[in-house]
Amino acid sequence: MILCQSQMQRRSAKSFLEEVLLKVPDMPQEAKDALLETVDDKPGTKRAAKLAGIIAKAAKDAKES
Amino acid sequence: MARERLTKITMQAFRGVRDAYEIDLPQSQSLLMYGDNGTGKSSLADGIEWYFTGEIELLAKEGRDHAVRHLGAPKEQQTLVAISTNGELGGSCTPKSSNKLAIDAASRETFLLRGRTIADFVDKSKGEKWSALQRLLGLGAIDELRADLQKARSELKRSRDDATSKTEQAAASVKAQKVEPDKIDEALAKLARSCGFEPQETIDDYFRLDLKALMSGAPPSASRKTVNATILAEIEGSKAAIDAAAVKKWNEVVESVSAGDASEIDLLSAAVRWVKDHPSSKTCPLCDKKVTNDAIKTRLAEVLSALQEKSGRLLNAEAGAKGVEGSIQQIAGDRARWKKSAREIGLDLPSAPDAPSLKSAIAERKAIDLAAVEAYAKAIKKWNDEAKSALAGQNFDAEPPSTRNQAVEFGQLLVAAKQWTDASNAEIQAEHAYELADAIFEECQAEQKKYVEEVLDQISAEVARLFERLHPTGAIGKVAVETWGDKGIELAVDFHGTRQRPLHGVLSESYMNSVAIVLFLAMARTFNEHLEFLVLDDVVNSFDVTHRGRLSDLFIEEFKDWQLVVLTHDRYFFEQIRRRVKGWATFQVLGWSYERGPSLREHRGATDVDAALELLEAGATGDAARRGRRGLEHVLKELCEGLEVPLPYRRGNDNEFREIGQLMSGLRRLLKDDSRGKQFLAAIDNDLRAIEADAQSVLNAEAHASDQGASTMEVRSTLERVRAFDEMWTCEKCGSRCWKEGGVRCRCGATPFPPPVPAKK
């Protein structure tokens, strides 16, 4: 009996982050889209700062709304 | 996305092929090739490896790349490998041009296993295994994203901590005016009424009032008293804490990470940056050798990944040390500000102690002088005590409240209140941002862990199942692939009731090779998205006859939906597969010469008897008889193995050299001792005797070497008898032997043991 022949689909960083963000409810879609756009950026300190900026803005917008 | 198979492989002036060499697989069928060592079989595997990876691993080391070309190839003949597939990945490659599409498609696929490197993956360290899995899964980009989210979280945590500190200081300023922060509105309203203003709804509303007229002139003594109290409150409220533990951690890490590690991390990071900045470079920056950019990138990423754990510890410790440096700067800055404010109200506070600089130690990755940091912390405590004492000792003449003084007091409280509310709002916002970043990072960690575990569970299930097929009765239990630490994976096995990892301590070399093969197969089946073929080059060297048989069963039964390219120098393994498969292209490499390269003969018949009959047609009667004898030996060995015929014990490979007569006697004994076999033996005994006699005479190689060799007709009728004997033990419906899987029946269950005796023609 063959128990396991299914092929596993590799996940891209983008689909991975999409999956992660689905589990973070307190975040506007606009901010999620902005985070997803950073996936194509060069990894490193600059991208980390960009991510921090997007998250901080999302927190601010959420508070103001 | 459809996975692709090979339909044609052409090589020219390549490795062991001088002129041209072509294997046609028009139905993208599997390929089985048998040949002795050094006959050019592996050139075929080399060609496929070169085309789909851009290199041949064996030749990847410095100074070997010229060996891609056949030394004797004519100058005008270009070194070339051309591959056709049933999809889009076909094309050709030369030393100067590779097929990028094919290399990209195969970059994360598993398709080639060689006998000489079979245990390479099993032998890798847990970190190297992790890197290899990361490459297969494309986890690199996900891991970089996780690292950047972690950095973003740290940045937002620092912002939150700064905001908290500012709020505490602003609260201290409010308290210095004998007002609790949560009672600011009441206090402002009271003072506003005293000054003749109407209390306002919000602090911002107060700022719209014109207070200038009341605020002109020198500050009254009441304001000096307030400034004094503010400084005192701020000193009392300041934490002035220096995290000595972070300094100790930094010192431990820089002492444990050797200079070599640190410089390797820096060098490799610089190299990775270089590769990214020079995407079209075709030469190695260090040795000027030709190499594809992707090859450098992949190797650097693998080596860098192994250093990432050390690098991560270093970066964490560095963040802590930088935090201490920031605290010291904050402490020094606050004291300078308080000293200046005190001077404005006529009080001279003591000079603050000199702050130690940690910058150069952090930049150079050297230990920080912990004693100097601790001495500074003590000196600050002493300064605080002296400053508090000086501030507390100040006397200010009490003045009767006046509208002007109350207006000033109101203004000062208003400014402090504004600073406090702004700081509080910023703190709430920073806290929210940090919580959000923390939630995203934690989800990311959990998702990555879940993903890796899912993958490992799937591979483990497949590895365990395939391994059990190879070793169904052994003492070795379930084999699995498990995570080990944050950045490691390792193979584990249940061994006599205990879990063992890695396997090296408990498994023999051949068992390790079994694990390597099933791991290769499991990975290909789990992850291959573009390629549906597997190249297996001499992979059975360390297996005994029983396990070679099981391995051939495993390939044929488990991978019937794949295209297999099986290259072997093992005759038994070749025959095992050849006998059982239909529709495969089957070749024998007859020999190799420097001038001509490998010479091939295609096997069209499925059995030795077919091959013998072909030889007979070609007039090679002696060769046909020898081939027929080999076929008879093979059938008898298979019967004896499958039926577990009791034969006198022989050590190791001596089993392989039993005479036909001995095998026949064993078979007779087994049938005689079996209640079902006795009658069957009686029915076939005459045929057995005839075959035995044929083996002595017609199929006797020595007889053919003399003038008294058998005639073509005698050989033909003997071959027909051998064929009938062979077919009698094979199920007509499923083609498997009738003792398979359970000991009494063929695989489909239609033919029992003993098999029916065919009617005489």
3-class secondary-structure state, position B730: strand
Q: With an 8 Å Cβ cutoff, is B377 touching chain A?
A: no
For B88, residues 6+ apart whose C-beta sits below 8 A from its C-beta are: B4, B101
Cβ pair B535, B522 in contact under 8 A? no
Q: Which residue has the higher pLDDT, B625 or B606?
A: B625
Contact A63 B529 (CB under 8 A): no
Chain A closest CA to B715's CA: distance in Å?
44
| Alpha helices by DSSP H, B507-620 | 509-527, 545-558, 571-580, 608-617
Asked if A24 has any chain B CB less than 8 Å from its own CB, the reply is: yes
Chain B residues inside the 8 Å CB shell of A13: 141-142, 144-145
Average pLDDT (B354-383) is 89
For B1-111+528-606, CATH gives 3.40.50.300
Residue A50, min C-alpha distance to chain B (Å): 8
Question: Any CB–CB contact under 8 A between B322 and chain A?
Answer: no
A40: contact with B, CB 8 A cutoff: no
Q: What is the mean pLDDT of chain B?
A: 82
pLDDT at B214 over 60: no
Instruction: Please indicate whether, in this complex, the C-beta atoms of B443 and A23 are within 8 angstroms of each other.
Output: yes
pLDDT of B413 higher than 80: yes
3-state secondary structure of B750: coil
Integer Cα distance of B36 and B600 in angstroms:
12
Helix, strand, coil percentages, rounded to 5, for chain A: 65, 0, 35
Asked if residue B740 has pLDDT above 60, the reply is no
Exposure on the CB side of residue A48, measured as CA atoms within 13 A: 16
The owner of tokens 């070169």 is: B50
For residue B1, the distance in angstroms to the closest alpha carbon of chain A comes to 11
Q: How far apart are CA B96 and CA B80, in angstroms?
A: 10
Pairing verdict, β B31-35 and B17-24: unpaired
Mean pLDDT of the B438-459 span: 90
d(CA B207, CA B216): 17
Gap between the Cα atoms of B240 and B451, Å rounded: 44
If we measure between CA atoms, which residue out of B469, B463, B456, B461 comes closest to residue B555? B469
Least confident span in A1-15, B152-166, B361-375, B446-460: A1-15
Confirm whether A7 is domain-assigned: no
Question: Among the listed ranges A20-24, B426-430, B580-584, which one has the minimum average pLDDT value?
Answer: B580-584
Predicted pLDDT of residue B282: 66
Instruction: Please give the ipTM for the structure prediction.
Output: 0.93
Check CB contact under 8 Å for B433 and A11. Answer: no
Interface A:B, Cβ pairs < 8 A: 117
Strand locations in B342-440 (E): none
Query: Are the CB atoms for B15 and B41 separated by under 8 Å?
Result: no
- When pLDDT is averaged across residues B440-450 and rounded to a whole number, the result is 91
Can you give the three-state secondary structure of B414-469, one letter per residue?
A: HHHHHHHHHHHHHHHHHHHHHHHHHHHHHHHHHHHHHHHHHHHHHHHHHHHHHHHH
- In angstroms, how far is the first alpha carbon of chain A from the final one? 58
Q: Is the pLDDT of residue B31 over 90?
A: yes
> Would you call A5 an interface residue with chain B, using a CB distance cutoff of 8 Å?
yes
Residues from chain B that touch A39, judged by Cβ atoms under 8 A, are 141, 145
Q: Would you tell me which residues 382-411 of chain B have a C-beta closer than 8 angstroms to some C-beta of chain A?
A: none
Model confidence at B280, pLDDT cuts 50, 70, 90, reads: low
* pLDDT tier at A5, thresholds 50, 70, 90: very low
Side-chain half-sphere CA neighbours of B319 within 13 A: 13
Q: Residue B62 carries which DSSP code?
A: T
H helix or E strand, kind and range, residue B619: none
Look at B152 and A43 and tell me if their CB atoms are within 8 Å: no
Structural domain total, chain A? 1
Closest CA to B569 of B28, B178, B32: B32
Instruction: Report the residue from B148, B451, B529 with minimal CB separation from A43.
Output: B148
* Higher-confidence position of B607 and B722: B722
Residues in contact with B465: Cβ distance below 8 Å, sequence separation at least 6, in sequence order: A2, A3, A4
Chain B residue with CA closest to A6: the answer is: B526
What is the structure's pLDDT at B289?
65
Is residue A55 in a domain? yes
Does a structural domain hold residue A6? Answer: no
Distances from the Cα of B628 to the Cαs of B247, B332, B695, B700, B718, in angstroms? 82, 97, 9, 10, 8
- What tokens were used for B343? 């001077």
> Is the CB of residue B1 less than 8 Å away from at least one CB of chain A?
no
Helix (H) or strand (E) holding B279: none
* CB contact (8 A) between residue A7 and residue B525: yes
Reported confidence tier of residue B359, pLDDT bands at 50, 70, 90: confident
Label residue B709 by pLDDT band (50, 70, 90): low
What integer pLDDT is reported at residue A18 of this predicted model? 94
Give me the domain span that covers residue A40.
25-64
* CA torsion through residues B688, B691, B695, B696, sign: positive
Half-sphere exposure of residue B658: CA atoms within 13 angstroms, side-chain side: 26
Residue B137: closest CA among chain A residues belongs to which residue? A10
Which of the two residues, A6 and B394, has the higher pLDDT score?
A: B394
Q: Mean per-residue pLDDT for B414-439? A: 92
Chain B residues closer than 8 Å to A30 by CB: none
* Listed range (A20-24, B183-187, B558-562, B739-743) with the worst mean pLDDT: B739-743
Contacts 24+ apart (CB under 8 A), B663-671: B663/B633, B663/B636, B663/B637, B663/B639, B664/B636, B664/B688, B664/B691, B664/B692, B666/B640, B667/B636, B667/B639, B667/B640, B667/B643, B669/B645, B670/B643, B670/B645, B670/B646, B671/B754
User: Does some domain include residue A59?
Assistant: yes
Interface check for A34 against chain B (CB to CB < 8 A): the answer is: no
Q: Does B137 touch chain A (CB under 8 A)?
A: yes
In this structure, of B191-200, B262-271, B404-413, B531-540, the range with the lowest mean pLDDT score is B262-271
B322 HSE (CA, 13 A, CB side) = 11
Q: How far apart are CA B607 and CA B215, in angstroms?
A: 112
Chain B residues lying within 8 Å of A20, measured CB to CB: 440, 443-444, 447
Q: Which residues pair with B592 in a beta bridge?
A: B598
- Indicate yes or no: CB of A4 within 8 angstroms of CB of B458: yes
Tell whether A36 lies on the interface with B, counting CB pairs under 8 A.
no
Please, what is the average pLDDT of chain A?
84
The reported pLDDT for the residue numbered A3 is 34
Greater confidence (A8 vs B120) lies with: B120
Q: Which residues of B touch A58 (CB under 8 A)?
A: 433, 436
- Per CB-CB distance under 8 Å, the chain B contacts of A51 are 148-149, 151-152, 437
Task: Kindly determine whether residue B461 and residue A3, on different chains, have CB atoms separated by under 8 Å.
Answer: yes
Contact of A39 with B557, CB cutoff 8 Å: no
Q: Which residue has the higher pLDDT, A38 or B210?
A: A38
Q: pLDDT tens digits for B283-329?
A: 666 666 666 666 666 666 666 665 666 666 777 788 788 888 888 88
Confidence of residue B160 (pLDDT cuts 50, 70, 90): very high
* pLDDT band (50, 70, 90) for residue B729: confident
Which residue does chain A place closest to B561, by CA atoms? A5
Of the candidates A8, A17, A56, the beta carbon closest to that of B433 is on A56
pLDDT (mean) for B484-497: 80
What mean pLDDT comes out for the span B664-678? 88
Whether the pLDDT of residue B556 is over 80: the answer is yes
Residue B92 pLDDT exceeds 90:
yes
Chain B residues in contact with A10 (beta carbon < 8 A): 108, 137-138, 527, 529
* Binary contact (B144, A55; C-beta < 8 A): no
Q: Pick the closest to residue B203 from B428, B426, B410 (CA basis).
A: B410
Q: Spell B596-617 as b/e; 16+ CB within 10 A means b.
A: ebbebeebeebbbbbbbbbbbe
Contact B525 A12 (CB under 8 A): no
Q: Per the confidence metrics, is the pTM higher than 0.90?
A: no
Closest-approach residue (CA) in chain B for A17: B444
Is A13 within a domain? Answer: no
CA distance B214 to B412: 12
Least Cα separation, residue B85 to chain A (angstroms):
21
What pLDDT, on a 0 to 100 scale, did the predictor assign at position B217?
Answer: 45
Residue B8: pLDDT above 50? Answer: yes
